[in-house]
Structure 1
Amino acid sequence: METKTVLITGCTSGIGRATAEGIAKTGAKVIMGCRNIEMANRVRDEIKKSTGNGKIIVRKLDLASLKSVREFAATINREENKLDVLIHNAGIALSLWKKISEDGLELTMATNHYGPFLLTILLIDILKRSAPSRVVIVTSKWYPMGNVDLTSNANPTQFWRAHYNYYVSKYMNVLWTLELDRRLQGSGVTANCLHPGKVFTNIWQANTPRAFYFCMSPVLEKLLKSCDEGARTTTYLATSDEVANTSGAYFKNCRVAEIERSVKDPEKGEKFWKLSEKMVKLGPTDPRI
């Protein structure tokens, strides 16, 4: 991987940080796309020290802001001459309150799907020039608990149940991955998604009552995967020669897993893609996939 460039979103903590460190150990150039620059710079320095890899850079990215996504993509397209792997790791799981982004999108949907969707489109040209290249999308085994109704006039980005929003956004990730694969056939760019496992990350702290979390955290830490364990499948999909020609698949524990029938429908995938283009306000001069 010494000649490769890998972009990872949301890698200041948890699975993302472990992924960044794992990729850095391979010798690849790592671009960290993060919302909190101060924290990202600290993590970058720590990873440099632990891996001996000096090819790690930080760039500002807030996936909940379409403006930030566009500014970030413009920077990457201007500064980089190649991009071998794009890893969509960043994600949130709001627990109690509905929040709306500056673009009028429900915040979980904006961060977990619409921001990554737009970023991929804006970086597709450099990914194609760098082929063979890869897009890796972190989803969740809980995606079947969500769905997207494309048969009515309901806006699937505006659910009121916060926990359900997370499941829907992960369903979107899988639906999007399969449609992305269909559209990238013959381009040399692969697209796969994965479930990292049940991992002990700060999402548990953010979405659990404080007293309960501190009582249960020792138990959760023993029952759940560590962040390093949770990053293994992502790192595998980003680096392994074994999956160089694999695309349109869903992975668990570094192996292909079965996908629910409801996300396999090409007609549904195409409709959802067009909806996503509309929601991110894709313009006439933007790339198309």
Structure 2
Amino acid sequence: MTQTDATAGRVMLATAWTQGADPAGYWVSEKLDGVRALWDGQLLRFRSGRPMAAPPWFTASLPPNALDGELWLGRGTFDRLSATVRRDTPVEAQWREVKYQLFDLPGDGGTFSERLLKMKAVLALRPAPFVQALTQFRVANASALEQKLWQIVQSGGEGLMLHHGDALWQAGRSESLHKLKVAEDEDARVVGHVPGKGKLSGRLGALLVELPQGQRFALGSGLTDTHRQKPPEVGAWVTYRYRGRTPSGLPRFASFLRERQPE
């Protein structure tokens, strides 16, 4: 498998963590609200596989190994980061603030614990201050995991990621990689606009969205006045937060978070 084969749009994806499950055997890290970035040894790419216009000095500092991680500016800075990394022509001063937080070596044959050790060795051969291995740690039990989650969230973080130490790398959804958040988030495609009523008359009332499995629901909570005046177009993908599901599988307490930018 070549470096490009390992990273061009092929990523390992997380499933939701089961509340109260035993975290023994798992490495835990903060879930960063950044932009997923894959390095194939030649190009830096978005999760979709589309090349990213990064400055030459940024990519020149990266090792020949395939890398998976998040471009990050810090907690609560997603919109500014997204604007920076999605420009066709990179702005030097903006990229100087960006950190590449690494969490895996895609396509490598070792276990996750072995890949973590190899990642640190790879970075030591070509150190750069903006390329870092994301901090991974262990927790003693489910109670300690919950405590760590609330600590991260109260500090402005998104949640936690859990990756089993014995897991081999695989493309697609994995039962060895999990995300844990106070509120989950998912994407849905906009299929229509629901007119507003009452004080929202003449503006958008809700987005009619469709889940990947085909179910539809109206998403109105979380929309700002700007969204109601100029809503995401039909066909756009949006991200929403929710807490649990109905018996039919629809999200409960769904709230609009942001429009997902094309990659």
TM-score when normalising by structure 2: 0.25
Counting helix residues as a fraction of each chain, which structure ranks higher?
1
Looking at CA atoms only, which structure, 1 or 2, has the larger radius of gyration?
A: 2
